[in-house]
Every structure is written in structure tokens, then in C-alpha cells.
Amino acid sequence: MGLTNNDIFKKLRVAHKLRDDDIVKICALVDFKVTKSELGSIFRAEDHPKYMECGDQFLRNFLNGLIIHLRGPMPPKEKNKKS
């Protein structure tokens, strides 16, 4: 049995000491809307009735937002000038 997206998300949350507000702001950096209640459902135990599976798109958007949060936005690419 490997790690699920929920496990990865939980580990990242703990490693970076993120609170629900922080995660909402990080997701907003990539225009991905998430609510605190959705986060609560993702971080619940698998046997809980309100448990929600963290999908690939959800985790991908969070990771892209986390990159921007930690490194800053990507600088614009310079156009190559031909001489």
C-alpha cells in the first residue's frame, strides 16, 4: 500500500506548519478556490462519514500554489534577440 493524495497533503501540511487559512491563501495563488470545510473533510480519518478523497487536481493545484508561496512567482521569460 502506497501513500494516498490525502497522506501526502497531510504530510506537507505538517512539514510546512500550515494552517487552514494558509492553505486557502496558497490555493488562491493559482486561482483555485477551496473552503475550510473542504480541507476539514480531506484531513479527516478515512473511516469518518464526512471524509473526502483528495483528488489529483486538488493536490496538483496546491503544489503549484506552494511553489509560488515558497519561491515567488516565476519571472517572465526573455525573448531571444537575433543579431
DSSP symbols for 41-73: HHTS-TTSTT-----HHHHHHHHHHHHHHHH-S
**pLDDT score of 76:** 82
- Domains of the chain: which residue ranges? 5-71
H and E: helices and strands count for the chain: 4, 0
Residue 58 makes CB contacts below 8 A (sequence gap 6+) with 5, 9, 32, 34, 42
**pLDDT score of 51:** 94
Q: What is the pLDDT along the chain (83 residues), one digit of tens a residue?
A: 689 999 999 999 999 999 999 999 999 999 999 999 999 999 999 999 999 999 999 999 999 999 999 998 878 888 776 65
